[in-house]
Amino acid sequence: MKARDVRCHVVRHELSEPFGFSQWWYDARELCLVEVTTDEGITGWGEGYGPARVIRAAVEHFFAPLLIGRDVEDPPAVWRALYERSSDYGRKGIMLSAISALDIALWDIKAKAAGEPVWRLLSDSDDVPGRIPAYATGMYFVKRDDLPAILAEEAAGYVEEGFGGLKMKIGLGREADVANVDAVRERIGPEPLLMVDANHAYGADEAIAMAHRLEPYGITWFEEPVSPDDLDGYRRVRRDAPMPVAGGECEFTRYGFGPLLREGCVDIAQPDPCAAGGISELRHIAALAEERGVPVLLHTWGSAVALAVALHLNAGMLTGRRAPDLGFPRPWIELDRTENPFRDRLLLQPIALERGTLSVPQGPGLGIEVDRQMVEAHEVT
Ligand code: MG
């Protein structure tokens, strides 16, 4: 079975209210979906994480010509060919997001051809969960007065919806962060798990001081305390912070996660399948993490395609049987709750969210059907 056609769809939605985190502000959601069709008429969908039009350029101008006409029945073999052909100027970043999107589409095709859901091709067990609990990612910054009260109100809404865990943004500076976390914890009470994510806003010393200030609030993990380039800083924060340290959403492939894991930088590894190398490479990253006893909790921030990929990986192979108990459910899915019609309305049959849990797709491939009218209505050139 050979690839016959590769198409990118960049879709865009202007937000009703901009939101921010420690690094920048969003005023729109824009993402790159990739569609691969084979000579047998099977279509697979994938998604790349990052600047959508740049990913599209990498796919259209570099990888698609390498893929079209090529045998695609063995996605890891195609992955290897694409990675090696681009490694002189790739290995991380946009080129890996493009490879990830294509790899995911090829797994969708492979599983559709086999008549099986992707999770079954990844699994070594029949004991696969039909539903997976999710935690709510939200509490971004908005340009309105009294941010602590706004964040507390948002957090209370997620608890009411049934989420057992919430992740909020920090990185505004020590006093503002403490005020925001204090307001949220005060409002939701002691029971719900609460995580903080600095998106590498701090240096190691600041992050360690921040971690001690936040200790009384019962923080389940401190995410991306320092720059993804500062492995020594990660090690220091992990040694001195009173809570587990999570990171990895800005890292790529087994070659990037190797040092992060070997050098003891994180308690929790967070690769994004749509950036770190797709499903093929997540198998290698998960194996490295398992060897080190580090749980993998995927970073997920995109459309329903990205969410479906996370569900298949969690159901098939990230069940957490070999990792230590750090006080949160395993498997556990990140579910971004900010305004995003491509998460909620991209599929003809949306992934069902019920009391903070998501259903694992059971159909062949990724088990999803993309609504082409929705794509066309939002597609940008
Ligand atoms: Mg994060």
User: Are 56 and 32 spatial neighbours (Cβ–Cβ below 8 Å)?
Assistant: yes
| pLDDT of res. 318 | 87
Residues 6+ apart with CB under 8 A from 190: 218
Q: Give first-to-last CA distance, the chain, whole Å.
A: 30
Please tell me the distance between residue 70's alpha carbon and the centre of ligand 1 in angstroms: 36
| pLDDT of res. 24 | 97
Q: Is the peptide bond preceding residue 65 cis, with omega within 30 degrees of 0?
A: no
Domains of the chain, residue spans: 3-116+372-378, 120-359
Please tell me the distance between residue 114's alpha carbon and the centre of ligand 1 in angstroms: 35
- Dihedral pair phi/psi, residue 314, rounded to 5°: -70, -45
| pLDDT of res. 125 | 77
Please tell me the distance between residue 249's alpha carbon and the centre of ligand 1 in angstroms: 6
Full-model pTM: 0.98
Amino acid occupying residue 123: S
Please tell me the distance between residue 299's alpha carbon and the centre of ligand 1 in angstroms: 7
Euclidean distance between CA atoms 32 and 37, whole angstroms:
17
Enumerate the active-site residues: 299
CATH 3.40.50.720, applies to 120-359: no
Please tell me the distance between residue 81's alpha carbon and the centre of ligand 1 in angstroms: 30
Report, as ranges of residue numbers, the positions in the chain whose pLDDT lies below 70. none
Token pair, residue 7, equals: 């198409």
Please tell me the distance between residue 351's alpha carbon and the centre of ligand 1 in angstroms: 22
Ion ligand 1 neighbours, Cβ < 5 Å: 197, 223
Euclidean distance between CA atoms 170 and 153, whole angstroms:
17
Please tell me the distance between residue 166's alpha carbon and the centre of ligand 1 in angstroms: 12
Please tell me the distance between residue 345's alpha carbon and the centre of ligand 1 in angstroms: 23
Euclidean distance between CA atoms 362 and 133, whole angstroms:
17
Euclidean distance between CA atoms 346 and 303, whole angstroms:
7
Please tell me if the domain spanning 3-116+372-378 has the same topology as the one spanning 120-359.
Answer: no
Under the phi-then-psi rule, with left for phi > 0, alpha for psi from -120 to 50, and beta for the rest, what region is 363?
beta
Please tell me the distance between residue 364's alpha carbon and the centre of ligand 1 in angstroms: 30
Residue-level length of the chain: 381
Burial of 288 (0-12, 13-18, 19+ CB in 10 A): middle
Euclidean distance between CA atoms 307 and 91, whole angstroms:
24
Please tell me the distance between residue 197's alpha carbon and the centre of ligand 1 in angstroms: 6
Residue whose pair of structure tokens reads 């099986």 in the numeric block: 116
User: Are 270 and 282 spatial neighbours (Cβ–Cβ below 8 Å)?
Assistant: no
User: Are 155 and 187 spatial neighbours (Cβ–Cβ below 8 Å)?
Assistant: yes
Token pair, residue 325, equals: 């108990």
| pLDDT of res. 244 | 98
Please tell me the distance between residue 226's alpha carbon and the centre of ligand 1 in angstroms: 12
| pLDDT of res. 232 | 98
Please tell me the distance between residue 224's alpha carbon and the centre of ligand 1 in angstroms: 7
CATH architecture of residue range(s) 3-116+372-378 = 2-Layer Sandwich (3.30)
